Chain A
Amino acid sequence: MVFEKVVFPSYPHKTVFISVFANVPKNVLSVVKTKLIEGDPNYELCFLNTNYIISTEYLYSAIYKAILNFETGQSKAKTLNTEIIFNLSPVNNIMDAFKRFGVDDSQDQSNVICIKVIDYVSDGNCLEDLNTHISKLLHTDASQNIPLQDAYLFKTVDISKFKKIFKLNDAKLSESENLQIQLTRLAIGACLIRGN
């Protein structure tokens, strides 16, 4: 059972649950996608692929911004789960954000990040139950449930594709500084100014 529990200082009453599953097969992901479109209550989670998730900091930034937008009436999407996907994107189009950051069933297998924002959790048990529930939905075993780590995320990102969608091909990157950190900073900036 590997998952993260995050609480943001501005929203102490909200608990963010994040877990990662590696190499989920295509046919399972297609089912997840269909269920999400149907609005099945068992699938009321935010499902992401890891193709463009450059770092945990970038992921947290989008989750934080999504909660903030929801709390202050600035959200563009109908649900918080969709708002998270939208805030990961540098493009002001929800369908486009789904295509890039949502469940990816175009390859034989894909990594999945599951996020759920819960309104207050006193003990860890219900998060464990949630993680079990997700691993059942994704038909994964314990070895596929992996920790959320920067080094792993960075490895799964195709840098040239990443630069393209974040419009960073003309960005001046320093050779002496860490690439993941530089791309994280630029990606966060690009998402913040989306549509403004």
Chain B
Amino acid sequence: MTDRVVQLVEDILPGIPLQVVSQGAEAVVFRTGVHPYTAHPSLTNPNQFIIKYRPSKKYRHPKIDASITKSRTAGEVKFMHRLAKAGINAPNVVSADFKRGLIWMEHLGEVLPSGEVSSFKNHLWSVERTRSPDECVSEDIQRICEQVGQLIGQLHHNDMIHGDLTSSNIVLQKKVPYLIDFGLSSYSGLAEDKAVDLYVLERAIQSTHSMYAYKYNQWLLKGYEAAYGTNKQNRRKYVEVMGKLEDVRQRGRKRSMLG
């Protein structure tokens, strides 16, 4: 699968050096040192960029395939533009080619001593692996967790849903969290959808950081609450989401027993 995709993308982008970063069901993410149109981009990291590529799927009808690739790529760029407008930490878009399913974006994060990308997950894991239990629940970790919660609170406050919140879809740059991967994102003002988004993260934390999940989740929700502020109307929205979160915890992510 990956070989075919690499071949495809090399045909589309001849002469651009590419390194596979990760592969999902729908897209492959590459890292490159080449900026498409300027040698001095106004980005924090001016030397590395991310290319997200949605290859065509052979099992889909070519016409449907083309339209799905185009609309999903455009949708993701639109979501990222709205995030930028709302001042929510996420990668900046550099360029996009909707028809061919390409998005060039800012490269976030650093390389950890372990050689891995500084995602929230890898950061927590490296602390859990190398430090004492006390340090795993240090003030530094608490601050990061709260900032992540606050970031998600900001997102939901703008009626935007990430759709795939996990600790690996949050990248830390200089220990400040940024959201990444908006392939499953959507827009909704419903408390239900926001609660499901939070629930997905809560479960992800429980399974990837089980030792300290209770503390982490507590801090995440604390930051989430802070994002809503003290305004009465916003408080009500927050309370509504928390009520729904309790419901979702009882029954799971799906609303009906079907599907």
Taking Cβ atoms with an 8 Å cutoff, the residues of A that contact B are 6, 8-10, 12, 55-57, 60-61, 63-65, 68, 72-74, 168, 170-174, 178, 181, 184-186, 188-190, 192-193, 196
Contact = CB atoms under 8 A, between A and B. Distances in A.
Contacts of B255: none
Given A168-B85, A192-B77, A65 B92 contact: no
Nearest to A173: B87
A64 B93 contact: no
B20 interface: no
Given A9-B36, A12-B15, A72-B99, A186 B84 contact: yes
Given A57-B37, A72-B99, A193-B74, 18 more contacts: A9-B36, A10-B13, A10-B14, A10-B15, A57-B42, A60-B37, A61-B38, A64-B36, A64-B37, A73-B99, A170-B85, A171-B86, A172-B87, A184-B42, A185-B92, A186-B84, A188-B95, A196-B78
B185 to A, nearest CB: 14
A196 B98 contact: yes
B18 interface: no
A178 B35 CA distance: 21
Nearest to B80: A189
Contacts of A64: 36-37, 95
Given A9-B16, A64-B36, A74-B99, A186 B85 contact: yes
B162 to A, nearest CB: 18
Contact of A65 (B35, B86, B95): B95
A192 B95 contact: yes
Contacts of A181: 42
A172 B154 CA distance: 12
Interface string B46-67: 0000000000000000000000
B34 A9 contact: yes
A72 B42 contact: no
A172 B169 CA distance: 23
Interface of B: 13-16, 34-38, 40-42, 74, 77-78, 80-81, 84-87, 92-100
Contacts, number: 85
Contacts of A72: 97, 99-100
- 4 smallest beta-carbon distances between A and B, as pairs: A172-B87, A189-B81, A64-B37, A196-B74
8 contacts: A9-B15, A10-B14, A57-B40, A65-B95, A68-B95, A73-B99, A185-B92, A196-B74
Query: Chain B interface mostly helix, strand, loop or mixed?
Result: loop
Contacts of B35: 9
A61 B42 contact: no
A186 B82 CA distance: 9
A63 B41 CA distance: 15
A19 B64 CA distance: 43
B37 A189 contact: no
B98 to A, nearest CB: 7
A116 B16 CA distance: 24
A195 to B, nearest CB: 9
Contacts of B97: 68, 72, 74
A185 B84 CA distance: 8
Contacts of B93: 188-189, 192
Contacts of B34: 9
A192 B42 contact: no
B48 to A, nearest CB: 14
A174 B41 CA distance: 19
Contacts of B36: 8-10, 64
B67 to A, nearest CB: 12
B249 to A, nearest CB: 32
Contacts of B38: 56-57, 60-61
Most buried by B among A6, A61, A174, A193: A193
